[in-house]
Amino acid sequence: MSSDAKWFKYYGDVPHTIDYPDISMYEIIKRSKEKYGSYIAYDFMGKAVSFEKLIDEIDDCAKALLAQGIKAGDTVTICLPNVPQAVIMLYALNKIGAVASMVHPLSAENEIMFYLNESNSRMAITLSQFYDKFEAIKGKTPVEKVIVAKIEEALPVVKGFFYKFVGKEPRVADDPWVISWQDFMNKAKNYAGESDFVGKGEDSAVILFSGGTTGTSKGILLTNLNFNALAMQTAAASSCFEAGDTMLSVMPIFHGFGLGVGIHTILAYAGKCVLVPRLNVEEFPGLFKKYRPNYMAGVPTLFEAMMRNEEMKKADLSCLKGLFSGGDSLSIELKKKIDAFLKDGGAKIQVREGYGTTECVTASCLTPIDYYREGSIGIPFPDTFYKIVVPNTNEEAAVGEMGEICISGPTLMKGYINNPKETSQTLRVHDDGKTYLHTGDLGYMDEDGFIYFVQRLKRMIVTSGYNVYPSQIENVIDSHEAVMFSTVIGVKDDYRMQRVKAFVVLKPGFSPTDEIKKSIKAHCEKNIAKYALPREYEYRDSLPKTLVGKVAYRELEREEEEKLLIR
């Protein structure tokens, strides 16, 4: 890496470069077991499992996969929340050189069918609650067998017994196409063979699905090196990871942030994952009291909800060594609120914002541990270069000039599966000889190398010939004392091309009275250029969210388009 990257002076004790081992994801976890075998690897609803036991479970699962005919290069879909079976299956597939395709279990039938076909999955695993979606698409995908797991199988004995009889057990077809998790794992007992596969850094490991740079769902193929480098970069940039530390793993395993940081990073450093299968902020006070987590990674809306919980306001947060925000833009005002919340709870840290895309697993830059530059998303990880280019070119923009954010480093994807055209448009070799990921995001870099995210290029609003960036308007609206959060979109307008519309959610205790509306409008008129002012404000109790908790602004855009059609 270049010795004169301008952000190095803010690294402190963070190394400028890292030596990444040429090994698999499984092997890096196995190294944790060899050194800290008795340490707890994961805790699921009170059932704690050591690294020694986890590797045994993974090895048995790998044998069971081989017994089913799964081999290196095959793909298996994991359609599970944060449950032990998901972690075990992921690393078992990795051990034998197969690829894990991660899918959200709340996806619709047709979406699951697309994911299975796109990834060419030979097998799939899901929970009994979601099996009906797979049954409905049987025969329409390459899937030869579906493994059906149950929550109670991963719980402590008494809790598992209680869980089984409290809820109504979903019906699962008695069909040769289906195999239970227990029967699947029992296949390992009679399998005498062993996998002779030795994983390398460049081997394909995981497929994550994302919108890509054009908004169409795409499978992103990631390697062992991508995940292992992310783990080592995150630990280096955090400057505080220690064996035995605890991560509250609330972000889902099928998301780059959840898998890459919430699970793989902490396991790679012999820490404990507290697996949280569903986001329920009401449970957070109990989780903090019981587990005293050292780290937590989440999206801004999660932290918003956490701060609204009355019991969390009383929680002791002094256990926290790192709170990481990613997946969506963290406004200046929200950061201030979170930092105040942490201080009030006894934590001696600031929330640290990261930025990245699924095409580089997740975060590729991070706010320094003890420093913050207002509005910035931080500085690049070790071995990672950022460049701002003039949109639609490879030409580097001047310092402070807005352009497309491009990233180069060891976490860049192999490419989009079945889509070489978009892969070539997204991964480009620049004049400096490095391959850069063109993110499709707009931002700029200051004279010290701090990165500033402005907006998705495609989310820019053009009104009366002016470019308007929604996040800038949202920052102003969110700074009003009555506002919890807002989302701004462009609505088709015959005169202006687009007009700016703001959707606003107020804080508890505030209602959209005429007085409040006038106050928010006056606040905007004071702080926003006239051409960029919202022409319309809509007040709601909540806003639609994506499956990973971001505000689904595209859904709001569709609603407005439908209104125009009705008119």
Q: Helix (H, G, I), strand (E, B), or coil: what is residue 353? A: strand
Q: Model's pTM, two decimal places?
A: 0.86
487 within a domain of the structure (yes/no): yes
Name the band, by pLDDT with cuts 50, 70 and 90, for residue 101.
very high
Per-residue pLDDT reduced to its tens digit, 87-97? 999 999 999 99
40 versus 301: which is more confidently predicted?
40
Number of domains in the chain: 2
Predicted local distance difference test score (pLDDT) of residue 431 = 95
405 within a domain of the structure (yes/no): no
Pairing of strands 363-366, 379-380: antiparallel
Name the band, by pLDDT with cuts 50, 70 and 90, for residue 468.
confident
Looking at residue 494, which CATH number applies to its domain?
3.30.300.30
Q: Is the pLDDT of residue 328 over 80?
A: no
Give residue 419's identity as a one-letter amino acid code. Answer: N
Provide CB contacts within 8 A for 97, sequence distance 6+.
71, 72, 73, 195, 197, 199, 203
Predicted local distance difference test score (pLDDT) of residue 467 = 72
Looking at residue 85, which CATH number applies to its domain?
3.40.50.980
Q: Helix (H, G, I), strand (E, B), or coil: what is residue 93? A: helix
Name the band, by pLDDT with cuts 50, 70 and 90, for residue 6.
very high
Q: Measured between alpha carbons, how far is 366 from 481 in angstroms, rounded to an integer?
A: 28
318 within a domain of the structure (yes/no): no
Predicted local distance difference test score (pLDDT) of residue 432 = 93
323 within a domain of the structure (yes/no): no
Q: Is the pLDDT of residue 278 over 70?
A: yes
140 within a domain of the structure (yes/no): yes
397 within a domain of the structure (yes/no): no
Predicted local distance difference test score (pLDDT) of residue 1 = 39
- What does the DSSP assignment read for 2-30? -TT-GGGGG-TTS-S-----S--HHHHHH
Predicted local distance difference test score (pLDDT) of residue 363 = 94
Per-residue pLDDT reduced to its tens digit, 139-162? 999 999 999 999 988 887 656 544
Angstrom CA distances, 273 to 8, 72, 84, 104, stand at 31, 28, 10, 20
What secondary structure letter does DSSP report for 193? -
Pairing of strands 351-356, 363-366: antiparallel
Name the band, by pLDDT with cuts 50, 70 and 90, for residue 211.
low
Predicted local distance difference test score (pLDDT) of residue 216 = 61
Of 177, 210, 243, which residue sits at a domain end? 210
190 versus 77: which is more confidently predicted?
77
Predicted local distance difference test score (pLDDT) of residue 168 = 57
Span 222-231, average pLDDT: 98
236 within a domain of the structure (yes/no): no
Predicted local distance difference test score (pLDDT) of residue 217 = 76
Q: Measured between alpha carbons, how far is 388 from 365 in angstroms, rounded to an integer?
A: 14
Q: Where are the alpha helices (DSSP H) in 382-500?
A: 420-426, 470-478
Of 185, 210, 235, which residue sits at a domain end? 210
What secondary structure letter does DSSP report for 545? B
Q: Measured between alpha carbons, how far is 259 from 268 in angstroms, rounded to an integer?
A: 12
Q: Is the pLDDT of residue 326 over 50?
A: yes
Of 176, 210, 244, which residue sits at a domain end? 210
Q: Where are the alpha helices (DSSP H) in 20-129?
A: 25-36, 51-67, 84-95, 109-119
**Which of 82, 88, 360, 373 has its CA nearest to residue 233?**
360
Give residue 267's identity as a one-letter amino acid code. Answer: L
Predicted local distance difference test score (pLDDT) of residue 212 = 46
Per-residue pLDDT reduced to its tens digit, 122-144? 999 999 999 999 999 999 999 99
Angstrom CA distances, 243 to 82, 247, 260, 268, stand at 22, 11, 17, 9
Q: Measured between alpha carbons, how far is 226 from 206 in angstroms, rounded to an integer?
A: 10
Q: Is the pLDDT of residue 479 over 90?
A: yes
Which helix (H) or strand (E) segment holds residue 439: the answer is: strand 435-445
Domain residues for the domain of 127 are 25-30+47-210
422 within a domain of the structure (yes/no): no
Q: Is the pLDDT of residue 213 over 50?
A: no
Q: Measured between alpha carbons, how far is 113 from 115 in angstroms, rounded to an integer?
A: 6
Q: Is the pLDDT of residue 163 over 80?
A: no
Alpha-carbon dihedral sign for residues 187, 193, 194, 196: negative
Mean of the per-residue pLDDT values for the chain?
92
Burial 511-534 (b: 16+ CB within 10 A, else e): ebeeebeeebeebbeeebeeebbb
Per-residue pLDDT reduced to its tens digit, 337-381? 999 999 999 999 999 999 999 999 999 999 999 899 999 999 999
Predicted local distance difference test score (pLDDT) of residue 214 = 44
492 versus 165: which is more confidently predicted?
492
Per-residue pLDDT reduced to its tens digit, 434-463? 999 999 999 999 999 999 998 777 677 878
